[in-house]
Chains A and B, each alone.
Chain A
Amino acid sequence: MARTEMLPSFPIVIRPSKGWVPLQLHDLWEYRELIYFLAWRDLKVRYKQTFIGVAWVVLQPLLITLVFTIFFGHLGNIPSDSRNAPYIVFAFCGLLPWQLFAYALTNSSNSVVASERLITKVYFPRLVIPIAAVLSGLVDFALVSIVLAGMMVYFGIAPHRLWAIPFFVVMEIATALGVGLWLSALNVRYRDVRHTIPFLTQLWFFLSPVVYPSTFIPEEWRYFYGLNPMAGVIRGFRWALLGKSPALGAWIGVSIAITLVLLIGGLFYFRRMEKTFADVV
C-alpha cells in the first residue's frame, strides 16, 4: 500500500532519554500538515463570533498608529528617519513587524499550556505546537501589509528594497519562535511566566524602534542596541521599504547572531524539557 513509503523507520524505540536530545526534524517534517491545521484552527477560532471579524486585524494597527502619530509625532515631535515618509507611515512601518512579533511571542509562550488536552492524550512532535502558534500570526501580517502598501501608494513612496523583506520576516519569526520556545517550556512548570509576558512585551516594545527611529541611539551604543533582534528587524523593514533613510549599519549582524542563538538554544531546550510536559502540564 501507499502507506508503507511514508512510514518512519521501524522499530520505534521507546526508552528513557537523558539530558540533551536530538531535534529529530524529520519527525517534525512528517507532521507538517498538523502545523498547518493547528495554525488554521487558531485563525478560524479567533474571529468566530466577532461582529466585524477580520476587519479588526486592520482596524487595530490603524488606530494605534493614529494615536502614535498624535502623541509621539505631533506632541512629542519625534521625527521619521526617512526623508520621504511622514511620521504616520514611519510608525505604521514599525508597528507592522512589531505586532506580528508580539502576537507570535505571546501566542507561542502560552501555546503548550493551552494545549494540555492534546499533550496528555496524543503523541506528536511537541515542537508542532509553538511553531503553529507563531505561524498563525502571518495571515494577520499579510492583511496589514496590504494597508501599508495602500498607505505608501497614497504618500507616493516606492519600496526600495522589497526583496529584503522576506529575510526580515523570517528573522523576526525566528526570534519570536526562539523566545516562545524558551517561555512555553518554562510556562509548563512555572505558570508565573504567563503573567510576565504582557510586561515583557511592553518593555520590549519601548526597547525596539517602533515609535522612534533607531538613529536616536548614539552611534557608540548601536552594537549594544543590536542585542535586541527586533531593533534589527524593524530597522531592516524601514530600510527596505521607506528609502532615503540611513544605511543599515553593521550592528544588524549582532541582531542576526542573537536570533540564531535564541532559536537554536530554544529548540534544544524545548526538546530537552518536552518529555516532562505530559506529566507536569
Chain B
Amino acid sequence: MSEVAVSARGLGKLYFICERESYTMLRDGLTRALTAPLRLLKGKAPRTVSGLDAHTKVEFIWAVKDASFDLKQGEVVGIIGSNGSGKSTLLKIISRITEPTEGEARIYGRVGSLLEVGTGFHPELSGRENIYLNGAILGMRKAEIDRQFNAIVEFAEIEKFLDMPVKHYSSGMYTRLAFSVAAHLDPEILVVDEVLAVGDAAFQKKCLGKMGDVAKAGRTVLFVSHNMAVVENLCSRAIWLDSGRIQADGLVGNVVAKYIQSLSTRADQDLSLIKREGGLTPVIRKIEFLDESGLPATTTKVGSTLIVRVHYRHTEPLKNAYFGLRFETASGINVFWLQTRMQNAQLPDVLPASGIIECRIPELSLVPGLYFLTPGCGSGNTQLDVVPKAGQLQVVESDFFGTGKLPPQSLGLVVVDAAWEAVG
C-alpha cells in the first residue's frame, strides 16, 4: 500500500503575460503580421521572450514553482490555497493538460481528471449520447462505458430523461449526470478540481461519498477545494500552495490550521492596490475586525460581538453615501447581508473624502467555520466599489448554548437559541 503513485520533483510553470501597448504604428503592425508566421514556424514565439518585439511589454509569473512531493497509492490529498495560488495549474500539469516549464513528474497509473463538470457535453445530444461521448473524452473505452452504463444512469438519477437532449435538463440533472460519468471512470489516480461547489447539498454528499469509496478502493485522490470542512473530512494529508510554492505539506489538520492563520494575517493588506473590474473605483482601503473590547481580532467566537471597520478613501467627499457587507461561507453560500440604508444607519449627508465606517454586530450567530466578507460602498445611486472576499473571518467554537454542543456546518449556518418544552 505504500507504493508511490505520483512523484513530482521541482515542477514549475512559467506564464508569460504580454501587454501590448495600445497604439502601434500600422506599419509596425503589418510587418509584425507578415513576419509572425515565419517566427512561428521557427517555433520560437511561444517560448522565448526574444520573439516579441519592443512594443510588447512582457511580464512573467511562476504559476507553480519548485513543487516536489510524493503521493502514495491510496492516499487522499487535499490541495488548499487562495485563488491564483497555482492549485489548478498544478492539477493541469499532473493531468498532462499543460506541460511544466521545468521539473519532472512520474505518474504510476491511469489518471482521471475532473477539472470541470461536463467537459465535452453537447447540449443538443441526449443524456445517453453524452454519457458515451463524455466517457470517451475522459478516456474510457466503449466496452467499459457499456459495462458501467446502468451504474452511471442510476447514480445520476436520470433514468426517465435518458433520451432527452441535455439542453432541456435542469442544472442539477446536468451536474449529476456529468459527475456520474466521471465518477465511474475508475482510474488509479483521480484528480478533482473544485467541481463540487455546484449541485445541491444532497448530491454533494453523494459525490463526496463516492470519492471516499474511490479512496478506500486503494485509488489515489488529489483534490482541490476551498471548503476546509470537506478537505478535513475527506483527506488525510493536505498541501498548501501560496503564490505557486508549497508552504506546508503534511497532516491535514496542521496544514489547514496554518493556512487559516495566514489568511487572518493577510487582512492588513491595502485593498486599494487590488485591481477593480467593471468601472469600479478603489475606494475601500482596508477591512478590519475588532472584538467586543475594541481590540483587533482575527477570529471570533460563536455568538460574541464583532466589530467590522471599513477604511475608505476617495478623491472627493461622499454625498449620500451607503456601505454594505456581505458574509459568505468558504463554499460560496451567502449567509447574510448588511447595508446602511437597509438598516437605517444615521450617516451624515456628506462624509469626508477619507474615513472609517464601523459596523457593530452585537451577536454573530454563525456556526464555526471560515467566512468571507465582501464590503461595498456607493454614493447616491452609484455603486462605487465592491471588493469580493476582502475579509476572511474564522468563527471558532464557544459554549453558545451552555451545553458544550454546537451544530455542524452541514446542518445549518446559524445558531439560534430556542426554548423547548413538552406541551401535550
Contact = CB atoms under 8 A, between A and B. Distances in A.
B105 to A, nearest CB: 4
B100 to A, nearest CB: 6
B116 A15 contact: no
Contact of A12 (B97, B107, B115): B107
Interface stretch (B37-45, B249-257, B328-336): B37-45
Contacts of A89: none
Given A15-B103, A189-B46, A273-B43, A37 B136 contact: yes
B15 interface: yes
Contacts of B200: none
Listed residue (B103, B108, B111, B124) with the most chain A CB atoms within 10 angstroms of its CB: B124
Contacts of B15: 279
B98 A279 contact: yes
A41 B97 contact: no
A14 B108 contact: no
A117 to B, nearest CB: 6
A14 B111 CA distance: 12
Contacts of A6: 141
Contacts of B129: 41, 44
A153 interface: no
A71 B45 CA distance: 47
A11 B106 contact: yes
B95 A123 contact: yes
Contact of B107 (A14, A124, A278): A14
Listed residue (B96, B99, B102) with the most chain A CB atoms within 10 angstroms of its CB: B99
A41 B122 contact: yes
B101 interface: yes
Given A48-B124, A186-B37, A11 B108 contact: yes
B119 A118 contact: yes
B53 to A, nearest CB: 15
Interface string B74-103: 000000000000000000111111111111
A279 B17 CA distance: 11
A45 B107 contact: no
Interface string A173-192: 00000000000001001101
A161 interface: no
B46 A276 contact: yes
Contact of A278 (B7, B97, B106): B97
Please classify how large the interface on chain B is, using the bins under 10, 10 to 19, 20 to 34, 35 or more.
35 or more
A227 B182 CA distance: 48
A124 B103 contact: no
Contacts of A49: 124
A203 interface: no
Given A7-B110, A10-B109, A121 B116 contact: yes
B137 interface: yes
Contacts of B99: 14, 16-17, 275
A23 to B, nearest CB: 16
A34 interface: yes
Interface in B129-144: 129, 132-133, 136-139, 141-142
A31 B98 CA distance: 18
Listed residue (B92, B97, B105) with the most chain A CB atoms within 10 angstroms of its CB: B97
A122 B141 contact: no
B397 interface: no
A110 to B, nearest CB: 16
A12 B36 contact: no
Given A124-B139, A190-B40, A12 B96 contact: yes
Contact of A189 (B40, B100, B101, B103): B40
B113 interface: yes
B43 A14 contact: no
Interface string A100-119: 00000000000000000111
A74 B257 CA distance: 84
A34 B101 contact: no
A37 B97 contact: no
B125 interface: yes
B125 A280 contact: no
A31 to B, nearest CB: 8
A38 B98 CA distance: 22
Contacts of B37: 186, 190
Contact of A34 (B116, B119, B136): B136
A121 B46 CA distance: 20
A194 to B, nearest CB: 14
Interface in A1-52: 3, 6-7, 10-17, 19, 31, 33-34, 36-38, 41, 44-45, 48-49
A190 B36 contact: yes
Contacts of B142: 33
Given A12-B108, A17-B99, 9 more contacts: A7-B110, A10-B109, A12-B96, A45-B122, A49-B124, A120-B97, A124-B137, A189-B40, A273-B46
Interface of B: 7, 15, 33, 36-37, 40, 43, 45-47, 92-111, 113, 115-116, 119-120, 122, 124-125, 129, 132-133, 136-139, 141-142
Task: Identify the 10 closest CB pairs spanning chains A and B, nearest first.
Answer: A11-B106, A123-B96, A37-B136, A14-B105, A276-B46, A12-B107, A15-B104, A278-B98, A121-B119, A275-B99
21 contacts: A7-B110, A11-B107, A12-B108, A13-B106, A14-B93, A14-B105, A16-B99, A17-B99, A33-B136, A34-B139, A41-B125, A117-B116, A122-B113, A122-B115, A123-B95, A123-B97, A123-B139, A124-B139, A190-B37, A190-B40, A275-B98
